[in-house]
Structure 1
């Protein structure tokens, strides 16, 4: 009897143990199933959570590039205008240091007679609040303003030149006598420190008077690349002389990657002992620095000792050009493809030549000029007019 009771008790305990074991595994198995049955589902859930917590990045607009420098502009709206091209005096020396040249995209440097030169500065991607001293227009300005689809800001001109500029450019030739301050501020353009211009205010005047219709002109044609082209020769200095007493030196500064301009000091002309001094921009107080120096050889036409024109638009086949960038000199060519397109540059093989992104100083030299190496790493241009027929 006792053995039967013991057997019955043993069976009851066994049944309870078995039922207890079966009651736990189902819940455990269910938990494991939720975590492992669909690994892909788990990954998807994590990705969706991350996506919900990560803000969607808006695509950044492409940088707007100034076609005259190859550099992006801070405000694309500044390109919705005609380039402002201002005449700046280099002689007499009392007008130095010049104002605002460091803000220009391009500066043209050319002969105006009696061993002197003058500048035409182009403001498109930047403005300068003060440019000058502003001086008179010249015949070649009409071609340059047409090529760059600009407006000319100048002090005045002799009667014949003034008529020519107005015939060629119409109201796009804006003189000091027409646009008052703040476009042109001063009293007398024949005073070398008398009149200065503001490129932004000249633009405003042109738009207010329906001279500049607004919109972005097509100024494509120049090429820029930060990479240095092959085939260059190391040259650290180039001198430009329009006369023995009118000289400029561009010296390459490796630290900034630019060419710094030096000019002759006013004292010393009588005995020929010139001392070269650094040129600064009176607006910034800093050295005048350009990324590219370009010499274009062409033909000057002399009508009078102080009246010249320069053949630019006729050069559709190509003429000699010399380029300086990154401390190297390159031979090439320049030509004009249209009377409303920037001057184009090519290497010695006829391929487009890429300037360094940045500002460019362009010298218009007569074909008869002397251009040679003065010493290792230094070249010199001495301007000479061709014999006139």
Structure 2
């Protein structure tokens, strides 16, 4: 009997030793459930002026500039527009237009002809917070820019100077070196997206639009033609090899008023108000979609709405027309 009890006790001890605790550190887990602590991959960084992916080794925190460029025959040939990310065409005195040309992903060593600012530029520049590159401005414009907190670099900066090239007259000879300007700047945070960018695949079907005429005034209509998948300006002043190829055209109908000064020739100076709301047409790959643009305050970014909801601008290079409600318009076919 003593042997039998001893044997039974030994067997019990062996069984206890073999039956480990399911939650002990010595027993590997056999659960097939995935770990809930795995972090989702961060979305790729995009350029705030195009919505496109930033290449490896680059950063969207790099400086952005808005260069005021003449848009008349006297500016021909314009220099550097082929490297621009985004262009805004605005009305100036005499029915002519001027370009607010945005650069960040590529900074040309020479861009111009650089011209003066207008009060319209407050609504154009303030959402991005970028520096305007200009040849100067009238006193009322400088006062308005100062109140709005819009910064600029003019001809007091060595990166903005006259260049004798034998082609442009003295008034149209001011050029800017954006690489030199960038060396003067400090690292900053990423600017906000200038437009509400989205995927091209999500752009609605719309109406056919292979040719677009944006009438800025009685004397200026910008005529666009779809070539491949890009819109090319047919009556611009860009030379072959340095042409802005627009993935998307945006036309915003805007309210205009008159500034409290005239230009040296005595012409009234218009102000295009890029705040509030109005009608818009967005063109992409031969399709036109009518929308309403909304920008409550001068420093806000713009959004676009259709009856179906918000519409995004396909990522890519965009040319934005600020077309006056009074005397302007847009047609396409």
Q: Same fold (TM over 0.5)?
A: yes
Q: Indicate the residue corresponding to 1:329 in structure 2.
A: 288
Q: Superposition pairs for residues 145-160 of structure 1, below 5 Å?
A: 145-160=125-140
Residues 94 and 192 in structure 1, CA contact (< 8 A), matched pair in contact too: no
- How far the C-alpha of 1:333 sits from its partner, in A, is 1.2
Which whole-Å CA distance do the structure 2 matches of 1:328 and 1:258 have between them? 12
Which whole-Å CA distance do the structure 2 matches of 1:236 and 1:185 have between them? 39
Scaled by the length of structure 2, what TM-score is found? Answer: 0.76
Match of 1:125 among 105, 112, 122: 105
Counterpart check, 1:173 vs 2:163: no
Which whole-Å CA distance do the structure 1 matches of 2:134 and 2:54 have between them? 26
Q: Secondary structure at the match of 2:216?
A: strand
Q: Indicate the residue corresponding to 1:344 in structure 2.
A: 303
Q: Which runs of 4+ in 1 moved over 6 A?
A: none
Which whole-Å CA distance do the structure 2 matches of 1:167 and 1:187 have between them? 32
Which whole-Å CA distance do the structure 2 matches of 1:190 and 1:144 have between them? 28
Counterpart check, 1:320 vs 2:282: no
CA offset digits 1:70-121 (Å, max 9, x no partner): 2112256442144211100012x13212112222222110110111010001
Which whole-Å CA distance do the structure 2 matches of 1:243 and 1:311 have between them? 16
Residues 220 and 341 in structure 1, CA contact (< 8 A), matched pair in contact too: no
Q: Indicate the residue corresponding to 1:310 in structure 2.
A: 272
Scaled by the length of structure 1, what TM-score is found? Answer: 0.66
Q: Indicate the residue corresponding to 2:37 in structure 1.
A: none
User: Which runs of 5 or more structure 2 residues have no equivalent in the other structure?
Assistant: 1-39
Which whole-Å CA distance do the structure 2 matches of 1:341 and 1:243 have between them? 26
Q: Which has the larger radius of gyration?
A: 1
Q: Indicate the residue corresponding to 1:80 in structure 2.
A: 61
User: Number of residue pairs matched?
Assistant: 285
Which whole-Å CA distance do the structure 1 matches of 2:74 and 2:330 have between them? 31
State which drifts further: 73-82 or 197-206: 73-82
Counterpart check, 1:366 vs 2:324: yes
Residues 64 and 102 in structure 2, CA contact (< 8 A), matched pair in contact too: yes
Q: For CA contacts below 8 A with separation 6 or more, give which structure has more relative contact order.
A: 2
* CA RMSD in angstroms, aligned pairs only: 2.7
Residues 133 and 196 in structure 1, CA contact (< 8 A), matched pair in contact too: yes
Counterpart check, 1:197 vs 2:155: no
- How far the C-alpha of 1:138 sits from its partner, in A, is 0.5
Judging by fraction of residues, say which structure has more helix.
Answer: 1
Q: Indicate the residue corresponding to 2:80 in structure 1.
A: 100
User: Which runs of 5 or more structure 1 residues have no equivalent in the other structure?
Assistant: 1-58, 208-212, 265-278, 379-389
Counterpart check, 1:238 vs 2:212: yes
Counterpart check, 1:90 vs 2:71: yes
Which whole-Å CA distance do the structure 1 matches of 2:323 and 2:301 have between them? 18
Which whole-Å CA distance do the structure 1 matches of 2:290 and 2:50 have between them? 20
Q: 1:244 to 1:341 in 2, by over 3 A?
A: closer
